[in-house]
Structures are given as C-alpha cells and as structure tokens.
C-alpha cells in the first residue's frame, strides 16, 4: 500500500496498481449524469466564521460555477466543512454550505467547494449549462417540501423569553421557513417566535434557527403555526412567482 492525495488534498491509501477515484463534488450525480459546470473566473466576496471562530470577509475568485455550487480560489480563511457562509456577486447575495476545503501542502490549498442553499434565487449574470437529468434521481433541493419565494416582508423576531423584537426583513420565504437578513445572527438552535407582516396583517409562528451567516442573516425553520395563519401565508406565497431554477 502507498499513500497518495486525491484532487481535493485528502490523503488516501491505495495499492500500487489502482487508487480510488477522487470524489467529484461539482460533477455531482444527477440521476446517472453529472451536473454540468461552467469554467469561469469572476470576483466574489465571501464572509462567515472560520474554524477558529473568527469572522472573515475576503475577495476571492470563482474557478467554476454550476446551478447548485461553485469552486473558489484565493481563499485565505479556513472554514469548517458544512459551515454556512455568505457570498456576494455584484450586488446580489447568496448563502452556501462549505463542502470541502483544500488542505495545506496540496494543489488545492486556497480552494473551497460550495453548495448553493438557494439555487432557485438568481445570483450569476452569465448563462449556466442546463441540468442533465435522466429521471432516476432528484437533487436534494428539488426534494424541499416547500419551495422558497423571493420576497422582502418585514418581520419581528423574538428570541425565547425576550420581549424585545429584532426587526428585520426576509430575503426568501416558504411554508416551511424563511431566511431573515440581519448583521448579527442568532446562534444555531435558538428557539424564536416570529411575526411576519403580510400586507396589513401580522402572522405569527414559532421557529428555530437552523443556520446563521455573520453579516448576512439566519435561516429559520417554522415549527408551529396556526392553520388559519398558515392558510393566509400560503395564499400570499401562491400570489408570488416562483423563481425558476
């Protein structure tokens, strides 16, 4: 057996005859075909928390982009895998999950791979290859129970046992939850009450923070909502145009 490195800098053991094929994160399997990606170098800004708990904000560049992810280069920060970070391209923001980080001493040092958490929201101003699907499988985002709609409703977020609201706006929302824009995110797992302004009506729900991005906001999962208010929220969301993927 010998030690080698895969394309992402991970150490692997293999025989002198064959080595395991490295994972292809951005050629992710979609059915039996891989999602096409576009090789393109454009500047973006990323921000979040690194593996030492320090907040970072860096200007970096894309290596390639797909509808559901991106590879970046020139990254100095070392975020944890599965950390949620923000990405800004021009004036448009998105939030992504870190899927891999290039290791020191490898060609992938300074590169990270990201998974787009809201692929239905437009981010890039250049065309991307269309999806290649054979109908045998669906992407995890397509399995989301409730599609997210882009909107900008005012909200009031009340952390548990706190009577003072955090007033903010949502960036997108569905029947299952929303993303609330705020510079100082609440910790993951925080239980909250949220009031959502829909036209002239305030709808109430209980929820939980499932992720946060410093300088950007928090993802909230709704855990409880009355049937009348849920029906009213559904009517409002049905009046919006879903952003095509």
pLDDT of residue 183: 82
Q: How far apart are CA 44 and CA 87, in angstroms?
A: 7
Number of H-type helices and E-type strands within the chain: 1, 18
Q: Which domains does the chain have, with CATH numbers?
A: 23-141 (2.40.10.220), 146-238 (2.40.10.220)
pLDDT of residue 132: 54
| Strand (E) or helix (H) holding 232 | helix 227-238
Q: How far apart are CA 178 and CA 173, in angstroms?
A: 4
Say how many residues make up the chain. Answer: 245
pLDDT band at 149 (very low <50, low <70, confident <90, very high): confident
Phi and psi, residue 9, nearest 5°:
85, 5
71-75, 119-123, 222-226, range with the lowest pLDDT: 119-123
**HSE-up (13 A, CA, CB side) for residue 234:** 9
pLDDT of residue 145: 66
pTM: 0.53
Q: In the predicted model, is pLDDT for residue 28 greater than 60?
A: no
pLDDT of residue 44: 96
Query: What is the 8-class DSSP label of residue 141?
Result: G
Q: How far apart are CA 113 and CA 97, in angstroms?
A: 9
In tens, the pLDDT along 46-97 reads 999 888 889 999 999 999 999 889 999 999 999 999 888 999 999 989 889 9
Q: In the predicted model, is pLDDT for residue 26 greater than 70?
A: no
pLDDT of residue 22: 38
pLDDT of residue 216: 78
> What residues contact residue 146 under an 8 Å CB cut-off, 6+ apart?
174, 175, 176, 177
Q: How far apart are CA 80 and CA 6, in angstroms?
A: 19
Q: How far apart are CA 131 and CA 196, in angstroms?
A: 35
pLDDT of residue 213: 79
Q: In the predicted model, is pLDDT for residue 198 greater than 90?
A: yes
Please report the beta strands in the chain, taking only residues with DSSP state E, as ranges in sequence order: 2-5, 11-14, 29-30, 33-34, 38-39, 43-49, 55-65, 69-73, 84-89, 92-101, 112-116, 149-150, 154-159, 166-174, 177-181, 191-198, 201-213, 217-224
């Amino acid at each position: 057996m010998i030690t080698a490195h895969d394309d992402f800098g991970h150490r692997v053991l293999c025989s002198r005859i064959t080595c395991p094929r490295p994972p292809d994160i951005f050629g992710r399997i979609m059915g039996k075909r891989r999602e096409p990606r576009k090789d393109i170098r454009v500047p973006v800004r990323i921000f979040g928390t690194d593996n030492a708990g320090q907040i970072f904000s860096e200007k970096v560049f894309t290596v390639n982009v797909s509808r559901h992810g991106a590879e970046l280069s020139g990254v100095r920060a070392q975020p944890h895998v599965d950390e949620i970070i923000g990405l800004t391209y021009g004036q448009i923001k998105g939030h992504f999950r870190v899927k891999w980080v290039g290791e020191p001493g490898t060609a992938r040092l300074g590169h990270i791979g990201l998974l787009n958490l809201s692929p239905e929201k437009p981010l890039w101003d250049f065309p991307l290859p269309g999806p290649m699907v054979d109908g045998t499988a669906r992407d995890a985002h397509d399995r989301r129970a409730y599609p997210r709609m882009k909107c900008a409703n005012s909200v009031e977020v009340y952390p548990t046992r706190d009577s003072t609201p955090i007033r903010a706006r949502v960036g997108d929302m569905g029947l299952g939850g929303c993303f609330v824009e705020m510079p100082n995110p609440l910790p993951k797992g925080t239980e909250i009450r949220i009031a959502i302004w829909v036209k002239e009506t305030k709808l109430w729900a209980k929820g939980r923070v499932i992720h946060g991005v410093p300088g950007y906001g928090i993802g909230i999962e709704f855990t409880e909502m009355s049937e009348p208010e849920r029906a009213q929220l559904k009517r409002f969301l049905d009046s919006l145009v879903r952003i095509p993927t």
